[in-house]
Amino acid sequence: MTTVQIIGAGIHPFGRTDSRTGRDQGVFAVRQALSDAGLEWTDIECAYGGSEGAGNADIMVNELGLTGLPFINVSNGCATGGSALASARNAVASGQCDIALAVGFDKHPRGAFNAKPGDWGLPEWYGETGMMLTTQFFAMKIQRYMQLHGISRRTLGMVAEKAFRNGTLCEHAWRRSPVDLDTILNAPMVNDPLTKYMFCSPAEGAVALIIASEKKARELGADGVTIASIAVRTRPPGSFEVFAPAISVERGGKPTELASQAAYEAAGIGPEDIDVAQLQDTESGAEIMHMAENGFCADGEQEQWLAEGRTELNGKLPVNTDGGCLACGEPIGASGLRQVYENTVQLRGRGGERQVPGNPKTAYSHVYGAPGLSAVAILER
Amino acid sequence: MSIAIPVAEGLWTDEAEPRLIGGQHRITSEIVFPMPQGDAAQHFEAVPLSRTGTLWSWTSQDFRPKSPPYAGPEAFTPFLIGYVELPGQVIVETRIEGAVLADLKLGMAMELVLIEFAPGRSTFAFRPVPS
């Protein structure tokens, strides 16, 4: 297969933008990505995009131009962005086209996501009795993990503190003020052990990435970053996922572990080779558990990693350098692409105040969502 | 309690000490909960599950879930939920009754009770086994 690069990256600031629809934020991001790549909309040969709750992506051609290009709408929950990127990459890698677009955007109402049981193949009673909230799942997953692997509440707080600190240095972040550890730990509880500062909030935002073959990138003189691998995986038997009225007593694998292993294998490198990582941090505990599920440390070692600052911007493995979901909020359709955007920024050395030192060469991103799916992308410079 | 209407039919047995009703796969013997509905049901046989188990994980629900789907009282009182492992059968998600957060420990013994989670409506819950 042809080697594929990201040659243009655009982002609409995350958070709340009352004056723009989600799709308009998507158009904003596409224009920025085109400008970054030095291209026109007419240069884009095919496009993949979507949102969870802000409408179809292909309508963007109304604003961007009726060039007749094939524009595939992607609707894949939390993996919408990752699936769009995987599709765009495959289109270029297969030789179907030389330049493709992946775009994700969203705009969610305030408050916790409100899922309808029927949409998820679940009985009404599950929602009626108050057990169908994504936040509960994350709380119960980390609760058990803390008991089994000795993770402290303080460490959960330190993850959030780092996120907000990194967010202060990031122009596309939503939360741009630091929050101190005591405030995080003593904030109102949402679902024990997670306080309100330990959860990300549904938000708005958009990301667009322009993908090209290596040959095309060279012709254009692009500042490209190579996509070494992308893997999207759904849950195996015996995993523990969002919205599960019951789980098997036979404990099995995890979608993140499957996606991670596939991505490492395809890239021909391992976790020890990664210089910077963006890991799904729906809440503080998710970042902790995902450090282990993606192979960066053993279960329980996170306590020491955080205490030693290993995931800080200047640490051994900087994690969530733009503040992650905690500081940026979570527009579902854009969130996974934000991670890849941030890795592109870091590998190009354009991170400004939040730039990871030492010219990082490899970057890892991991998105996780309901009903148990993960997407991992590894970029190389 | 006897007048409360179950939140759904077929979740638990109608007996003095009710048991949850799971579905056992006819070929693999794996047990799921609740009993599958529709076409999927043909692959499963309804089986009563253990009334007792051990606490697998837990959390508190400290804000009122949105309605719909939540059908609890408008005046919200935080509640506890968790997963209880029914040995050798299945790990079920459940409301937790008769305990405060500080009482809960991984692996503690739990037993099934029915609770009125909304006026006139009952659901299943687990509570610590009185010692």
B88 touches chain A (CB under 8 A): yes
- Given this model, what pLDDT does residue A372 score? 87
Across the interface, whether the CB atoms of A127 and B85 are under 8 A apart is answered no
- Of B18, B21, B93, nearest in space to B55 by CA: B93
Cα separation, A39 vs A79, in Å, equals 27
SS3 state at A285: helix
Across the interface, whether the CB atoms of B95 and A112 are under 8 A apart is answered no
- Given this model, what pLDDT does residue A169 score? 98
In this prediction the ipTM stands at: 0.96
A123/chain B closest Cα distance in angstroms = 9
Tell whether the torsion through CA atoms of A313, A319, A321 and A324 is positive or negative. Answer: negative
Q: Where are the domains of chain A?
A: 4-110+200-380
- Given this model, what pLDDT does residue B2 score? 53
Residues 6+ apart with CB under 8 A from B88: A249
- Given this model, what pLDDT does residue B11 score? 97
Main-chain dihedrals φ then ψ at residue A64, nearest 5 degrees: -85, -25
Indicate the pTM of the whole model. Answer: 0.94
B131 pLDDT higher than 80:
no
Contacting B residues, span 25-64, partner chain A, CB-CB under 8 Å: 30, 32-34, 37, 56-63
Q: How many CA atoms lie within 13 A of A128 on its CB side?
A: 17
Task: Count contacts between A and B (CB, < 8 Å).
Answer: 115
Class of domain A4-110+200-380 as given by CATH: alpha beta
B126 touches chain A (CB under 8 A): no
Across the interface, whether the CB atoms of B81 and A112 are under 8 A apart is answered no
- Of B91, B126, B96, B122, nearest in space to B7 by CA: B122
Q: Report helix angle A80-93 to A332-348, nearest 10.
A: 60
Q: Which residues of chain A have pLDDT under 50?
A: none
B24 touches chain A (CB under 8 A): no
Cα separation, A290 vs A302, in Å, equals 10
- Given this model, what pLDDT does residue B1 score? 47
B127/chain A closest Cα distance in angstroms = 16
- Given this model, what pLDDT does residue A260 score? 98
Across the interface, whether the CB atoms of B61 and A133 are under 8 A apart is answered yes
User: Residue B102: closest CA among chain A residues belongs to which residue?
Assistant: A192
Q: What confidence tier does B84 reach under pLDDT thresholds 50, 70, 90?
A: very high
